Structure 1
């Protein structure tokens, strides 16, 4: 026997009509959610590009310098005449190649250095330069007791060009000469590099190095300046601290390129511990009077005098 379905009472719509209405509202909600999600992703993308530019991983804005030369001056220990020669030499070189100079005063970092040797001042000086020039790409720290002797050769041509750096990188060699068991990686390429340095016959050179702006640079400098390292009784303070970090932290070693000493760190004939073929020759970009400020038998001002005169004479010829 079949029973008739009793009719619904009142004007209420049938169940299928209600389901269609709910589906319509659901689709509108999903569409709105999708649009909002896409908008948020677009905002996050734009912000990431902005912060990337600020970190120095993209091209520097027009009108800004891609290279900053960092020089730490001890104004209390040397005559104004001597310091002005150093400054003039740096200013001439920077002007020729569109670079920027950052002259730091050692006394400005005394409160950060504390009881540690004052040679540690190079680390906060470079960090200060990076904070002051966030759009620059490279920071070249050069010891004050040094001169640019080949003014027409740019750092790009000498070192920073991708293919040039590739040809200069010393692979699978001891980080600390002559026989450190930790060696530079053999697989690295120029695009992997954020820190460029040299070594002499005994140590990594802290008086002449290049670091690239970015997250690694900030991490590296903060690690290097850690109070634990500054309080440790390293015989050569920041130099031995750097050697420790590079040898025992593969993250740093994987970003390091060692290049021949004379590329950016030629020693004067009176300097000790030069590497094989590490002493200055005519045509080199830089001459450095290594340890002239720590050897009581030497005078930085006297050693620099003849080379400064030669440089000044060269400018007049040109």
Structure 2
């Protein structure tokens, strides 16, 4: 009689087979419900944060939207080494009266207010702009106006005369050399008014920082921080912050893509200049950019007839 022999053992173990789950059906159902509930909760949080303004489209905290209180902050830097005391009082009165009429605020800084770490005092304008945004986080616009200028037309408002998208579409000069006369870098031909955050003009020398407007927002803070960066301040530009700005605009599309160059007389007329620059009755501003090179009394002398005209106009409205 032959008996079946037991199977011979082998040195090769059978392949590992993972145990199959034997969870009860009820437990699997509960786990599915918990997972679905978790997904629903996460989706709900995502939708709330997106629609409620608490986050950006990338899930990061969204930028704070300014309420427009005040609509505009006028920033002017006062330098007693360049201007007489009488003239500076005229400038202060000019800014305060105009701001009061339109519900604006003024930010009148002195060149001694900030530690510029050895940089020329002209850089104060950039720090003052940044400081104004910190002090008035709900403003819509910050308008820098140099102390060598006077506001002449109290009827014109920045948020109407310059900044509306449709108005910017009319004013901006497209495909224009950034630094005249033949810079190969030109203003964007496809730029739309709604995308503009920096409004500035040119004179015969290049970009003019005597009068320019910045729209409050994250881009404005980025722009001012970049402009005041130690690299630009340490570089020996002939005209310090002005040439630094021109360099930024020509080499950084992030800046150029948000900048509109408009006709000079819209916000920056000169008392004397070419036909395109020279002040005419009804213009918003008149400037005396070269008076500081002569002496502190010169700006007072050149501005006197305009100051008298300004006071008469303001008293009549």
Segments of structure 2 that go 5 or more residues without pairing to the other structure are 1-19
Q: CA deviation at 1:82?
A: 2.1
Residue 8 (structure 1) aligns with:
none
Residue 94 (structure 1) aligns with:
99
Number of residue pairs aligned between Structure 1 and Structure 2: 293
Separation of aligned partners in 1, 2:179 and 2:82: 31
Residue 64 (structure 2) aligns with:
54
Q: CA deviation at 1:291?
A: 2.6
Residue 202 (structure 2) aligns with:
199
Q: CA deviation at 1:70?
A: 0.9
Q: CA deviation at 1:311?
A: 1.0
* Contact 2:63-2:217 within 8 A present in 1 as well: no
Separation of aligned partners in 2, 1:51 and 1:75: 43
* Contact 2:178-2:185 within 8 A present in 1 as well: yes
The TM-score normalised by the length of structure 1 is 0.85
Asked if 1:26 is matched to 2:25, the reply is no
Structure whose residues are more often helix by fraction: 1
CA 1:143/1:24 → structure 2, altered by over 3 Å: closer, same or farther?
A: same
SS at match of 2:304: helix
Q: CA RMSD in A?
A: 2.4
CA 1:121/1:55 → structure 2, altered by over 3 Å: closer, same or farther?
A: farther
Separation of aligned partners in 1, 2:236 and 2:22: 83
SS at match of 1:151: coil
Q: Which moved more, 1:165-174 or 1:15-24?
A: 15-24
CA 1:276/1:227 → structure 2, altered by over 3 Å: closer, same or farther?
A: farther
Q: CA deviation at 1:39?
A: 4.4
SS at match of 2:43: helix
CA 1:308/1:52 → structure 2, altered by over 3 Å: closer, same or farther?
A: farther
Asked if 1:316 is matched to 2:312, the reply is no
Superposed CA offset, 1:98-143 (max 9, x none): 222111122111x1x2222111111101000011111111111000
